[in-house]
Structure 1
Amino acid sequence: MELAVLNTQGNETGRKVVLSDAVFGVEANDHAIYLDVKQYLADQRQGTHKSKQRNEVAGSTRKLKRQKGTGGARAGSIKSPLYPGGGRVFGPVPRDYSFKLNKKLKALARRSALTYKAQAGAIRIVEALNLDAPRTKTLVALADALKVADKKVLIVLPESNPNLQLSCRNIPYVKAILAQNVNTYEVMNASALVMVEGAENVLNVMLA
């Protein structure tokens, strides 16, 4: 697949780049995408949730009443889950939600996600963006020129560009990511992919 390289005004520069069919034209695997997104979201969970059990809450261990003769249920401690302020039964405890996926499956998931975006015509290629300083206004103007201002945009960079990455931070619908760090969740979560020229080469080599 060939795509025209656009300038910052949204006009074609006359150059074209080739998106490898081995990365952007595969037979998409929806289940691989599901598993990779599930793993990504599981990795974001801190797993620090905790409630106190009956042996951890503060309270007396005195037996509340005698065992027999009261006509009521047997009660051994005010810390019982049956009483207000008592421990919680089967409450959450700290745990690790992460799980392992094979590298080949994760690569397949990323290729599938990129293929979906290519098929939907949601990929734009722009020439290198060199900013002297972080400027949010420049990124807003670029989004307008590329006609993606009303969409959730993922900017894929071939290499680190601090000024550009800082310029994205105040725009809620724009996120910048290095091509080597592209993941299935970010690709599927975005409505449009804006690749800085050269990023497609990184993806072609990394995922082919």
Structure 2
Amino acid sequence: MADINVLNSKFEASGKLSTNVSLTAEDINVPVVHQVVKAILAGRRQGTAKTKTRAFVSGGGRKPFKQKGTGRARQGSTRSGLMVGGATVFGPLPRDYTQKVNKKVAIKAVQSVLADKLQAGKLTVIEKFDSDGKTKNMFALLNGKGLLPALIVTKEKESPALRAVRNLQYGKGMSADGFSVYEAVKFENLVIEKAALESLLEKMV
């Protein structure tokens, strides 16, 4: 059970949000957050690195020199990994780096991040952003309250607040549906709309 302070669009006290989801220090599971962040970063890898093994290097059909009598180590192909212009041994090949994350683990990671931000005093809940979509005004508002760097989370995917944050040097915006544990960990402050937070908390009940 947690009571979270809610502010209006001018960052003045507006009320409280009560939830049955526990957001105490005991709910912060660092290994789970680490696992999910690793999975997110692994999923961003292209996995297109490729080297040529002996099967793919052209040429090399002829034996470079006779088997015996030269004093050199025997060679069967000019494309051996030992030869200049030869193949690469155990080099990278295209692969999928995606790591599977169970649904319960992903939800626990979100709970851990929210609990961490709340306990550290870095979670700011807004009734609803009253933004004109101008980056200058959003910067003045957040910077004036000492909330930068910040991750801004709204309920709607298309929001003037997200447009205003898009060009912030020390900020990033996203909707509740696309909430990223990695981005939440990356930014010091989490500024989230009340409806967006309720949407995240619903998944934990």
The separation in 2 between residues aligned to 1:19 and 1:112, in whole angstroms, is 18
Question: Which whole-Å deviations, capped at 9, do the CAs of 1:159-184 have from their partners, x for residues lacking one?
Answer: 12343323322223211111122232
The answer to whether the aligner puts 1:74 opposite 2:47 as a matched pair is no
Shift of 1:127: 4.1
Deviates most, 16-25 or 179-188: 16-25
Q: Note closer, same or farther for the CA distance 1:85–1:163 as it changes in structure 2 (3 Å cut).
A: farther
Aligned residue in 2 for 1:63: 63
Counterparts of 1:62-141 in structure 2, within 5 Å, are 62-132=62-132, 134-141=133-140
Aligned residue in 2 for 1:31: 31
SS of structure 2 residue aligned to 1:124: strand
Question: Which whole-Å deviations, capped at 9, do the CAs of 1:17-47 have from their partners, x for residues lacking one?
Answer: 3152515336222221121112111211121
Aligned with residue 193 of structure 2, among 175, 190, 196:
196
The separation in 1 between residues aligned to 2:20 and 2:144, in whole angstroms, is 28
The answer to whether the aligner puts 1:165 opposite 2:126 as a matched pair is no
8 Å CA contact retained: 1:125, 1:194: yes
The separation in 1 between residues aligned to 2:105 and 2:51, in whole angstroms, is 36
8 Å CA contact retained: 1:23, 1:207: no
Deviates most, 80-89 or 159-168: 159-168
Identical residues among aligned pairs (%)? 35
Unaligned runs of 5+ in 1: none
Per the normalisation by structure 1, the TM-score is 0.87
Q: Which runs of 4+ in 1 moved over 4 A?
A: none
Q: Note closer, same or farther for the CA distance 1:28–1:78 as it changes in structure 2 (3 Å cut).
A: same
Q: Which amino acid aligns with 1:2?
A: I
The separation in 2 between residues aligned to 1:174 and 1:28, in whole angstroms, is 24
The answer to whether the aligner puts 1:142 opposite 2:141 as a matched pair is yes
Give me the CA root mean square deviation. Answer: 2.0
Deviates most, 115-124 or 19-28: 19-28
Shift of 1:129: 2.6
Shift of 1:195: 1.0
Per the normalisation by structure 2, the TM-score is 0.88
Equivalent residue pairs, number: 202
Question: Which whole-Å deviations, capped at 9, do the CAs of 1:110-141 have from their partners, x for residues lacking one?
Answer: 10111001000001123423445x42212211
The answer to whether the aligner puts 1:15 opposite 2:17 as a matched pair is no
